[in-house]
Amino acid sequence: MYHRRAGSRPVGGCARRDCPGRSSEGRSRRPANARAGVFGRPVRAKDIRSIGLGLPGVVREGCFWHADKEGGLHSVAVEPALSRRYGVPVVLENDVNAAAIGFARCYETEFPGEDPAETNMAYLHFDRGCVSAGFVAGGRVIRGCGHFAGELGLVPTADGRLLDECLNDPQDGREYTARVLEAAVWVCGILNPRYIALGGPALRRECIGPVNDGLSALLPGPMCPELLYTADIWGDYQIGMAWLTAEKIFHMVQIIKK
């Protein structure tokens, strides 16, 4: 079973307090057992073998990390609370990471020659006030030491401001395209992805063509990724969480041929 946390946006990757649709102090301070109650009816009504939950913030060691109004970070032990209450394995994942996994699974289905173990891609999500990303390299999600990988909005731009700040300011199409291109070049220089998926409610779709042209002009052929647009981020998220949850159920199953 995968579940969208009540009151949250389906995707969004950061724990920064200034990002609309991210973790909020009011919701995050609810006791873990109170949040666990939202699962009571579906879990009791069906034979549930695992629970998957995508959260709009940092997920680490079974905890969801959120920021308060002063910018301090706090953790909520979501996975232990749900696991104790329902007695089934629980999967927690950052929602943009889940969307990246879902998009990669769909890409591999559309192009069967793709080897999932060799997937190298980036999933850039442009929300209102926040830019975040999910990275997959060698078939594995890149989370980083503190599980903060993908906070693109915190990277400084050429004029010294953070990318989030720049994209929040009014700007024409040329300026906006330059910012998106700058972020895409950073990702290519660090990850060298085979493809980059762009999406989110704040993405200006008309910039994709010029950004693609800019990448071709700036980068050598082996570094230049395929640039893709994802219109169904919620669908990507659902597929990713379903895949992660099913993997949790079957990871100990061994198939023996007679």
pLDDT of residue 252: 55
Which region among 24-38, 81-95, 130-144 has the lowest average model confidence (pLDDT)? Answer: 24-38
pLDDT at residue number 87: 87
Name the pLDDT band for 25 (thresholds 50, 70, 90). Answer: very low
Q: What is the rounded CA–CA span in Å between residue 62 and residue 82?
A: 10
Q: What is the mean pLDDT of the chain?
A: 81
How confident is the model over 170-215, as pLDDT tens digits? 889 999 999 999 999 999 999 999 999 999 999 999 999 999 999 9
Percent helix, strand and coil across the chain, each rounded to 5? 40, 20, 35
Q: In this predicted model, which residue has the larger pLDDT, 236 or 14?
A: 236
pLDDT of residue 83: 87
Q: Which DSSP state fits 132? A: E
Which pLDDT belongs to residue 231? 92
- How much is the pLDDT for 198? 97
pLDDT score at 50: 85
Q: Return the higher-pLDDT residue of 104 and 128.
A: 104
- Arithmetic mean of pLDDT, 49-75: 83
| Mean predicted confidence (pLDDT) in 237-251 | 87
Residue 99 scores a pLDDT above 60: yes
Mean pLDDT of the 100-111 span: 91
The β-bridge relationship of strands 58-60 and 63-67 is antiparallel
Q: How many residues comprise the chain? A: 258
Q: How many helices (H) and strands (E) does the chain have?
A: 9, 11
Confidence band (pLDDT; 50, 70, 90) for 167?
confident
State the Cα–Cα distance between residues 160 and 182, nearest whole angstrom: 13
Is the pLDDT at 42 greater than 90? The verdict is no
Alpha carbon distance 78, 243 (integer Å): 20
Report residue 170: phi and psi, to 5°: -60, 135
| pLDDT confidence of residue 253 | 58
